[in-house]
Amino acid sequence: MKNIRDIIKQAIDIHVHIGPEIIPRKYTAQLFLDIEEEKLGGAVLKNHFYPTQPFINEIKIKSRAMLFGGIVLNNYVGGLNDQAVYASSIISKQPIVVWFPTISAENFLNESKFEIPKEWINKKNFSAKKSNEIEPVRVTTNGKLTPNAIKVLSMIEQYNAVLATGHIAWEESVILINKALEMGIKKIVVTHPIYQRIDMPLKIQKKLAKQGCFIEHSYSMYSIDKIPINKIASQIKAVGFQSVILSSDVGQPFSPSPSKALYQFALLLNQEGISEDELFTMLVANPKNLLSMDKNRV
């Protein structure tokens, strides 16, 4: 039987927020590594506003932990900008993660009063833009992918990047994923579909899992968005741990570190009947498979 503390030391957290960013963050890439290097096996660094691979490339000291870059296709990088994906990919030795829009997604803006929700910020004087003042990044038009979305998929396929669905509507995710699979993209993450602003039906999650997608469940859905842990565990069991990745989705100043968040998440799920072996698969084996770590370690 595997020990949960040992599992966390090997875990690859595919969803860690870092700064500098408009949203207050707990870590820069260097600070994250200084604090978490001996506590995690690796992480994908995310930023809603800027690509993170340049931050990683600025780190000069070799690390035991593996860091992966990412880009979120919000307005701040030009939306569905295939050249931004190219620029991030070309400077990385590992596959990057490409998130479709999050705070700029049409679905997200429709479901939120502000571009940056208040529950993400623990700061009284922070002022967020109102959603109705923002031009959304549209992934589909009349039920079909936009030409720019298809260009982004082509770039993802060309550079063996990971496709993550972001905060787009679940119906859009299905259209996007079906096209990605048709184009030969095999590394796909359905970004925390349990999130209230996405709320993907369980039967759709199960179908996507059978198509080879990984379904992501994040600690922040429990800690920030107050989704009951038994609901998260129930969805994991329904989809099957073989198709699930657990992440922290932390980096907020008020949240615990990723290693502490994942440890707490694992303990809570274990109490809901999810075994240590299943946790190992979701925290270590599946993320490594997604990121092709055995093939890309340098």
Q: Please state, in angstroms and rounded to a whole number, the distance separating the CA atoms of residues 233 and 116.
A: 28
Return the CATH number at 147: 3.20.20.140
Q: What is the pLDDT of residue 297?
A: 35
Element (H, E) at 97: strand 97-99
- Distance of alpha carbon 136 from alpha carbon 172, whole angstroms: 14
Domain limits at 163?
A: 4-296
* Domains identified in the chain, total number: 1
**Cis (ω within 30 of 0) for the bond into 54?**
no
pLDDT value of residue 179: 98
Q: What is the pTM of this model?
A: 0.95
The per-residue pLDDT for 296 is: 43
User: d(Cα 280, Cα 178) in Å, to the nearest integer?
Assistant: 29
Task: Sort 175 into a burial class: Cβ within 10 Å, 0-12 / 13-18 / 19+.
Answer: middle
Provide the residue-wise pLDDT of the chain in tens; the chain has 298 residues. 579 999 999 999 999 999 999 999 999 999 999 999 999 999 999 999 999 999 999 998 778 889 999 999 999 999 999 999 999 999 999 999 999 999 999 999 999 999 998 889 877 778 889 999 999 999 999 999 999 999 999 999 999 999 999 999 999 999 999 999 999 999 999 999 999 999 999 999 999 999 999 999 999 999 999 999 999 999 999 999 999 999 999 999 999 999 999 999 999 999 999 999 999 999 999 999 999 875 443 2
